[in-house]
Chain A
Amino acid sequence: MSALSKVASLEEYLNPVLVKEVRQALRGKQFKGAFGFTIVISLIVAIWVVLNNADSSAWQPVGPDFLTGVWSCLTIAVIGFIPMAAFNAMGAEFEENTYDMLVLSHMRPRHIMLGKLLAAGVQAMLYFSVFGFFVVFAFLLGGVDLTIVLVGLPVLAIVSLALSSVALGLSTLARKRTARVGLMVVLAAALVGSVMGTIAMQAAATQTGFDIALPEVQAGLSSLLIAALAFGGLFFVIGVSRLAHEEENRSTGLRLFGFTLVLVGLGWAEWMYSHLGGLEFLVAVPTMAIIVATVLSIFFVSEREGLGRRVETTLPNNKALRLFLVPWLPGGARGALWLVGANVTILGFVFWRLGALGALGSTGLSGLTVPEALEALTTVVSYSLIYTLLPSALFSNRSRELKRSTLVRIMILASFVLGLLVPSIVGFLLDWSTLAYFQHYGNPFWVFIQVVDGDINAKPVWLFAGFALALQLPRIVRSVTEVFRASGRV
């Protein structure tokens, strides 16, 4: 077999959804229209920039202006059009009644998501390949820093893929047309914001230049890439989870990815600390990690309690392995265990890293001392447990109704809002100024600041978190018992 035919034979192993989507896109009006429109606009912009500068009496390199113009068009295409097309492509599977047929084939949800994502990537590549000529021309016009192009293009490609992944994941959240329209509006707003932000960053970098060797630039780029990969990855996993049948295990993948995000966040905090110095990264990033884990756990703790008939049959027969698997398996109480595990991991990391500095060390964050930082983070963890575990314990979903899960989620959000507002309203009615001005334990932001300043005792919050955890214990015990009693693999 010749090398060429070997390469051609690889086509057999391409993701079927990728092949189908690219075929459809290349024949469809949407891609053709957007592609043609973008190229025509780019040409107009390019010609306008050149002609505009040709009139100048004093010649200046027009490369930066030219690059900014065509780059803006490329950004609109790969960050605006392509993610929106990906959203519609996934939605079409539900609207055209083709999704069931896909599920019944040998394709798994991750193959479907990956195929759609790769198809978005191929379409983006088509745009990049055409815009390559414009970029080369901009470089020939002079004044363009090659580093910007070499760094900017891959970053743009990654952001485009990440946003396409977000669009695909978002598209799986609603199958009814009305809900999809709402999601489309949200996505459109996010894409417009992303396009404007990206164009502004690129324009600033092109006009002023940037030095990739600077640690601040590296930190900024790494932050952007980590955020893109985290969001893209998260929505990819959400999409895979939503495409799975509701009786199948929709939770474990998300829990694993959520925990991975937490670990990546901690690793990133460590890298930023060692790269840039400044202990604030060891406080701020773990705080963000706690918030991310808490937001994800809203979905986990509100899941209905039963393992489900199909999940039961996938459990290993080894009891020790089952015990290890408990926090990763579907079910609200097991979601509570996951959150506790994630928070313990984050706190453990912070205690280990900051504890090594000694009790009197300074974190460098507005003069925050290590003990104050540890106390503040413990308080954040406590609020995380209070807001999620208390409502889910009171309104847990033991029925098979999905509406019950929605109720738990609403109650979690309501507990935050009510905790914030009710004491303030009472304070306002009783003319108690501190309460009225949100200076109470129901306001986690105020408590956090007070703890950092050393003006308040955080122990009541910790005790309340312990109470929320205690309320969960019967559920947790039942959920562990269920895993041990499940029939397992047959």
Chain B
Amino acid sequence: MTTTERTDHALCVKNVTKRFGDFTAVDRVSFDVFPGQVCGFIGPNGAGKTTTMRIASTLDMPDEGEVFVCGSSVLVDPRAVRRQLGFMPDAYGAYPDTTVEEYLDFFARAYSLRGKARKKALDHVTDFTGLAPLGGKLIDGLSKGMRQRLCLAKTLLHDPGFLILDEPAAGLDPRARVELRELVRALADMGKGVLISSHILSELSSLVDSISVIESGRIQGAGTVEEILNQLRPHMRVYLRCLAETDLVERALLELPGVSGVHHEKSGLAFDFDGDQQAIAKLVAKLVADGLSPIEFAPESVDLEDVFLSLTEGVVQ
């Protein structure tokens, strides 16, 4: 093993296992996050998300396996990992009797930023998170959304290459969630890898490039949403309604290549179709050419919640 491996990865988790006594919290978990990519880490409560994130951020040690952050091993060189890592925990704290400016200044000093470098970093993160006008305000008086921004600003002070955000949207109002989403997307566009966990799957779906689904400490699926869908459902589910007789349409469909599982649904037909976009276009053209007059052709849309529900069984550890 070397101290620097997988330098093309922002995060590389390899067969990580973590036990607490007889309880296995994380069981041979593996997944990757690449620079510029936002990876959604989703799973029910107690699935092992936070434990995995804490291991990746050097706060806990794996019993087995290995984790690399920007090429550095959490086992061998935790300090190098911490230089490259920004971790925003779900339960972060704020010091009482401290202003926004003092809080950020303290962490900038803690990250060994001195003089002009510290001022530049402070200006950058307060501008980026929109906290600049609130510098003199006590943290105790900040709203939840502003506190999340403050924690994100603290996380970004040392310009980490990889970010772990544990439930950053929890408790935020819709506007604050949209703003946070835009900030995270902007960070990924800067080339930073982001691992983000959230229970609000609708928020994640428009943000993530890939997902890792975990349940009972095991990864149930990992990859882009499309890849996972392809694994889960090799056939596309289509709803079709035509002006022609339904029985006539059914017979015609069964003769077409790639069509299977045809059955009646509402006032039309539903079927599985195995083919790409070109094949869909040909299918529709054939239906029109046969005079069946299709008036509704709707491939079933699948979102992150469907993926999540398909992959998990609601097991609570």
What are the interface flags for B57-76 relative to A under an 8 Å C-beta threshold, 1 for contact and 0 otherwise? Answer: 11101010000000000011
What are the interface flags for B103-138 relative to A under an 8 Å C-beta threshold, 1 for contact and 0 otherwise? Answer: 000110111101100000000000000000000000
Is B92's beta carbon under 8 Å from chain A? yes
Would you call B78 and A310 a contact (CB within 8 A)? yes
Known contacts: A19-B109, A310-B61. The answer to whether A104 contacts B87 by CB under 8 A is yes
Contact partner of B94 among A19, A27, A98, A308, CB < 8 A? A98
Is A28's beta carbon under 8 Å from chain B? yes
Known contacts: A16-B106, A106-B82, A309-B75. The answer to whether A23 contacts B91 by CB under 8 A is no
What are the interface flags for A118-149 relative to B under an 8 Å C-beta threshold, 1 for contact and 0 otherwise? Answer: 00000000000000000000000000000000
Q: Which residues of chain B in 1-53 are interfacial with respect to chain A, using CB atoms and an 8 Å cutoff? A: 1-3, 21
Would you call B59 and A104 a contact (CB within 8 A)? yes
Complex CA–CA separation, A294 to B154 (angstroms): 45
Would you call A97 and B97 a contact (CB within 8 A)? no
Is B141's beta carbon under 8 Å from chain A? no
B78 CB contacts on chain A under 8 angstroms = 310
- Among residues of B, the one whose C-beta sits closest to the C-beta of A101 is B92
B87 CB contacts on chain A under 8 angstroms = 100-101, 104
Contact partner of A97 among B3, B89, B154, CB < 8 A? B89
Complex CA–CA separation, A308 to B58 (angstroms): 14
A28 CB contacts on chain B under 8 angstroms = 96-97
Would you call B93 and A96 a contact (CB within 8 A)? yes
Is A24's beta carbon under 8 Å from chain B? yes
Would you call A103 and B59 a contact (CB within 8 A)? yes
Known contacts: A24-B96, A97-B91. The answer to whether A104 contacts B82 by CB under 8 A is yes
- Among residues of A, the one whose C-beta sits closest to the C-beta of B98 is A24
Is A247's beta carbon under 8 Å from chain B? yes
Contact partner of A100 among B59, B95, B112, B114, CB < 8 A? B59
Contact partner of B114 among A12, A27, A92, CB < 8 A? A12
What are the interface flags for A19-62 relative to B under an 8 Å C-beta threshold, 1 for contact and 0 otherwise? Answer: 11001100110000000000000000000000000000000000
B93 CB contacts on chain A under 8 angstroms = 96-98, 101
Would you call A20 and B98 a contact (CB within 8 A)? yes
A309 CB contacts on chain B under 8 angstroms = 61, 75
User: What is the size, in residues, of chain B's interface with A at 8 Å between Cβ atoms?
Assistant: 36
Q: Is the interface of A mostly helix, strand, loop or mixed?
A: helix
CB distance from B67 to the nearest CB of A (A): 12
Is B85's beta carbon under 8 Å from chain A? yes
Is A107's beta carbon under 8 Å from chain B? yes
Known contacts: A247-B61, A490-B3. The answer to whether A106 contacts B97 by CB under 8 A is no
A24 CB contacts on chain B under 8 angstroms = 95-98
Complex CA–CA separation, A101 to B154 (angstroms): 9
Would you call A104 and B57 a contact (CB within 8 A)? yes
Complex CA–CA separation, A106 to B79 (angstroms): 8
Known contacts: A28-B97, A104-B57, A490-B1. The answer to whether A97 contacts B111 by CB under 8 A is no
Is B102's beta carbon under 8 Å from chain A? yes
CB distance from A36 to the nearest CB of B (A): 16
Is A455's beta carbon under 8 Å from chain B? no
B96 CB contacts on chain A under 8 angstroms = 24, 28, 92, 96
Is A223's beta carbon under 8 Å from chain B? no
Would you call A107 and B92 a contact (CB within 8 A)? no
Is A313's beta carbon under 8 Å from chain B? yes
A92 CB contacts on chain B under 8 angstroms = 95-96
B83 CB contacts on chain A under 8 angstroms = 106
Complex CA–CA separation, A97 to B107 (angstroms): 15
User: What is the size, in residues, of chain A's interface with B at 8 Å between Cβ atoms?
Assistant: 33
Complex CA–CA separation, A106 to B114 (angstroms): 13
Complex CA–CA separation, A104 to B91 (angstroms): 15
Would you call A23 and B98 a contact (CB within 8 A)? yes
CB distance from A104 to the nearest CB of B (A): 5
- Among residues of A, the one whose C-beta sits closest to the C-beta of B92 is A97
Would you call A23 and B102 a contact (CB within 8 A)? yes
Output the residue of A17, A23, A104, A490 with the most chain B CB within 10 A.
A104
Complex CA–CA separation, A102 to B58 (angstroms): 12
Would you call B89 and A100 a contact (CB within 8 A)? yes
Known contacts: A96-B93, A97-B89, A100-B59. The answer to whether A310 contacts B75 by CB under 8 A is yes
Complex CA–CA separation, A313 to B222 (angstroms): 31
What are the interface flags for A283-321 relative to B under an 8 Å C-beta threshold, 1 for contact and 0 otherwise? Answer: 000000000000000000000000011100100000000
CB distance from B169 to the nearest CB of A (A): 18
Would you call B97 and A107 a contact (CB within 8 A)? no
Would you call A245 and B61 a contact (CB within 8 A)? yes
CB distance from B157 to the nearest CB of A (A): 9
CB distance from B102 to the nearest CB of A (A): 6
A107 CB contacts on chain B under 8 angstroms = 110
Would you call B21 and A401 a contact (CB within 8 A)? yes
A2 CB contacts on chain B under 8 angstroms = none
Complex CA–CA separation, A92 to B96 (angstroms): 10
Is A5's beta carbon under 8 Å from chain B? no
A487 CB contacts on chain B under 8 angstroms = 1
CB distance from A57 to the nearest CB of B (A): 53
What are the interface flags for A79-104 relative to B under an 8 Å C-beta threshold, 1 for contact and 0 otherwise? Answer: 00000000000001000111011111
What are the interface flags for A428-464 relative to B under an 8 Å C-beta threshold, 1 for contact and 0 otherwise? Answer: 0000000000000000000000000000000000000
Would you call B89 and A102 a contact (CB within 8 A)? no
B58 CB contacts on chain A under 8 angstroms = 104, 245
Contact partner of A106 among B91, B92, B111, CB < 8 A? B111
CB distance from B60 to the nearest CB of A (A): 8
A490 CB contacts on chain B under 8 angstroms = 1-3, 76
CB distance from A2 to the nearest CB of B (A): 17
What are the interface flags for B142-183 relative to A under an 8 Å C-beta threshold, 1 for contact and 0 otherwise? Answer: 000000000000100000000000000000000000000000
CB distance from B28 to the nearest CB of A (A): 17
Complex CA–CA separation, A103 to B114 (angstroms): 19
CB distance from B257 to the nearest CB of A (A): 56
CB distance from B90 to the nearest CB of A (A): 9
15 residue pairs from A and B, CB less than 8 Å apart:
A12-B114, A13-B114, A20-B95, A20-B106, A24-B97, A96-B94, A97-B91, A100-B87, A101-B89, A102-B110, A104-B58, A104-B87, A106-B110, A400-B63, A490-B76
With A27-B97, A27-B98, A400-B63 known, 7 other A-B pairs at CB within 8 A are: A12-B115, A17-B110, A28-B96, A28-B97, A92-B95, A97-B92, A101-B87
Q: Which 4 A-B pairs have the closest CB atoms?
A: A16-B109, A97-B93, A105-B110, A96-B93
Residues of B bordering A, CB below 8 Å: 1-3, 21, 57-59, 61, 63, 75-76, 78-79, 82-83, 85, 87, 89, 91-98, 102, 106-107, 109-112, 114-115, 154
Residues of A bordering B, CB below 8 Å: 9, 12-13, 16-17, 19-20, 23-24, 27-28, 92, 96-98, 100-107, 245, 247, 308-310, 313, 400-401, 487, 490
